Amino acid sequence: MSLHPNTQAVRIQTERTNEKEHSTPLFITSSFCFDDAEEMRAAFAEENDNNIYSRFSNPTVQEFIDKMCALEGAEAGFATASGMSAIFGTFMAFLNSGDHLLSCSSVFGSTHTIITKYFKRWKIEYSYADIKKPEEWEALIRPNTKMIYVETPTNPGLDMVDMEWLGQLSKKHNIILVVDNCFATPVLQKPVQFGADLVLHSATKWLDGQGRVLGGIVVGKEQLIRELYLFCRNTGPSLSPFNAWVLTKSLETLDVRIQRHCDNAEALVKALEGHPKINWIKYPFHPSHPMYAIAKKQMIRGGGLVTFDLKGGLESGKKFMDALRMLSLTSNLGDSRSIASHPASTTHSKLTGQEQLEVGITPGLIRISVGLEYSGDIVNDILQALEQS
């Protein structure tokens, strides 16, 4: 019987033990045993599927991977200890000295640091492309371009790239296309359908959904995942079995949670429209979004993130944050609890003012990760904070 991916996220489980448990078991172990020397030899020779060591593979971690592959429509995957280890592992598994990376300029701050600060140690070149000017991307491709890397929607600007167009571009030039699908999740978009070779996530965010554990995952073409696996099993950024157990249970409610996040985000956008202290609101499924048509083409709904720009700039941003009574001030997102952040003074404060503007961060930009609370309470807290900003 063919099952919908959302059903698979609930029903895929590690094979039941003799205890006949209904809920999936947790395999907290560093290593696995063998019945005899021949079975052990065959495992190390990869002639069987036996687990050897939890840095290589673990049944609980594999269950999380299998669910994510079903949700993303991918062939294989590898889970990591954090979103950044997924990103760094992907870069290091496929980029060699002399290679060139083409990336959208608006990327997560730590990703930006790896690209701009650490790539030079390995003589890896890079170019940043403006996600708002796709007509300029092909001219940035070089003979040594090995990978195209994008976030869509981006962090924190919520800009989008047309993945169908980008998939065709990467295929034309035989370049690995990597998409960070953290903000949308596979519930709202599936980059593999548009030509992505690898899709990665910070599982810490929406996939967990309750701010409990760190985790990351990369899924995609089996041949590429094999190369990533070989790199990661030797360098050690593996996901812990306990965190994998938390995450695999979280996936059972992912679709339900994301729908509620979207409902609440839409209610917030409606409440903020025309507010006198806001220059603009940005939400992928709002007609005012400059990439609204792209969002409608490749996303099912607009997601749980909303940004708006305060007319008072940097100081108004700080006043707004201090005036919030319910929303959390924290560096995370994708939580059951609503979160507010002011990127110009926090996550992107190390960028110059010009660099911030280039990636869509204005001095008064506020990013709201809309939670699962009653929508009226979220709206009321933000409105009262706006009055004090």
Alpha carbons 284 and 62: distance in angstroms, whole number: 33
Same domain, 210 and 351: no
Q: How many domains does the chain fold into?
A: 2
pLDDT of residue 155: 87
Same domain, 358 and 209: no
Same domain, 54 and 171: yes
Same domain, 111 and 224: yes
pLDDT of residue 161: 96
Same domain, 238 and 293: no
User: Which tokens hold the place of 201?
Assistant: 């996530």
Same domain, 139 and 269: no
User: Which tokens hold the place of 82?
Assistant: 């954090």
pLDDT of residue 387: 95
pLDDT of residue 148: 98
CATH of the domain at 74: 3.40.640.10
Domain boundary, last residue among 214, 237, 253: 253
DSSP for 277-324, please give it.
TEEEEE-TTSTTSTTHHHHHHH-SS--SEEEEEETTHHHHHHHHHHH-
Residues of the chain with pLDDT under 50: none
Same domain, 216 and 277: no
pLDDT of residue 57: 96
pLDDT of residue 372: 98
Amino acid letter for position 68: M
- Run of H or E including 201: strand 198-202
Same domain, 209 and 272: no
pLDDT of residue 127: 98
pLDDT of residue 334: 97
**CA dist 273 to 280, 283, 287, 367, 374, Å?**
8, 11, 12, 16, 19
pLDDT of residue 9: 94
What pTM value is reported for the model? 0.95
pLDDT of residue 157: 87
Q: Residue 227 belongs to what domain range?
A: 5-253
- Run of H or E including 79: strand 76-80
Domain boundary, last residue among 253, 285, 312: 253
In tens, the pLDDT along 307-334 reads: 999 998 889 999 999 999 999 999 899 9
